[in-house]
Structure 1
Amino acid sequence: MNTQKYPAFAAGHDLEKIVGFLKDWFAQNGPAAKAVVGLSGGKDSTVAAALCVQALGKERVVGVLMPNGVQAEIADAQAAARHLGIAYRTVNIGKPYQEMLQALTNATGDDGQDFAVNLTPALQQNLAPRLRMAVLYAAAQGIAEGGRVINTCNRSEDYVGYSTKYGDSAGDVAPLAAYTVDEVIAIGDALGLPHELVHKTPADGLCGKSDEDNLGFTYAVLDRYIKTGHCDDEAVQSRIEHLHRCNLHKLRPLPMVER
């Protein structure tokens, strides 16, 4: 049962709070650095990029579009970049993605024998986000004055582990991690972002299904549970709690031996 107290939310107030947080964080961790945002065309990356523009100015925000071969959603990512007036670059991960799968298939052990790697659906779905994060850090290192990678995950996704460890769950600063899906949407509306981007059906772009299809419950149900600890469906509540327990390792610091 989720029993923690959830803080009050007001879109305008929290928008200003996040912008102030980003200004302070960059002042301390990269006064001249650019914010590097992986733009997927969904609400989270669009809102995160817009908040960075508010905090730093559009000249200090760079969007990186990373389709895996041909990807229909890339048009939405381009629309987000144009709306925000930020520079963006496209890095297609399709070829390296296929080459990595081939390399895993051809892996051999130190005895020269084949070392079989089972290319499960989960492996294939999580490989793309990890390649994308490698691209974002390469881009951050390669741009003038350096860059800092923006984590675009929200609290709802993080709560049930709906992210890829060392993929989209990575980054240098996470402006949306304290906010549930409905709150991110409200912030996007307060920013005046295009309705079709902010209210777009959430999908991971990996398996062809929506987030809610994969999770087995809606974000509205999840957000209510996070905030109140209540869920009308015992089976759904049990699944939410199970996913939360199983994925806590994604949220906790890397374990180490204490001396």
Structure 2
Amino acid sequence: MAVMETEQDLSALAEQSHARWIGARICAIGKSASTQGNLRDIASRRNRQRALRAAAPRLGSHEHGRNNMKPSRKQTSLLAAASLACAIVLGLATASNAAVAATTTKVPDGARPMTAAELYMLYHDKSWRWPDGAGRMQNTDRRFSAWVDGTGGQSWAEGRWAITDTGRLCLEATWHAASGQFPAKTCFVHRIFDGTIYQKRETGGAWIVFRHPTTEKTDEATNLIADDLVSQRLEALKTSLTVRKTE
């Protein structure tokens, strides 16, 4: 009995480590200093996974070895949740204006980083509308909350938003899906020149005109609205995903 319990623990740990490692590989965002730490964690988990997978056949039966030849339902669901978190990390919000994002935008040489005060005025107590969801930057405690409900799955998040005098807006939260929860941090950089605001996702993003001096319909900034698009839908998703986990 003790051997079987050890086998189950090893198998579960291997599945979770493998799924999270694949999700991180899909993201491919290992350029920042903070992500380098994550990559070291991933490498460590991968090494543990290899050791566990090597040990598992010695502990298990022939049936266990045959089951290891294909991913389990739990492993598949963990991979799906990791992929969902990856999509969020890669900047789901910037997809809300595909036409603008598709154009090549050159930031003028004289553009300067926006200050924290300017970013605060732009984002505080606003909802950012996305194609399949929305995020909200509350002034109180700088709370950030969001939900996503699309072809990639359902998820909700709670965390914090932060701004700096170097033009950075960062959304850091834990995203919850039916198969698990995953931390994600997405940062955007902003420049301003003659009243025009330029924005791009910090890692791997392309510059877009976020807002013209006189706001245009295609400006991404038009998706920042004062109405709360998050709270009610977030609570509904919390309930829905909780019920699904208990079924």
Structure of larger gyration radius: 2
TM-score by length of 2: 0.28
Greater relative contact order, per chain length (Cα 8 Å cut-off, separation 6+): 1
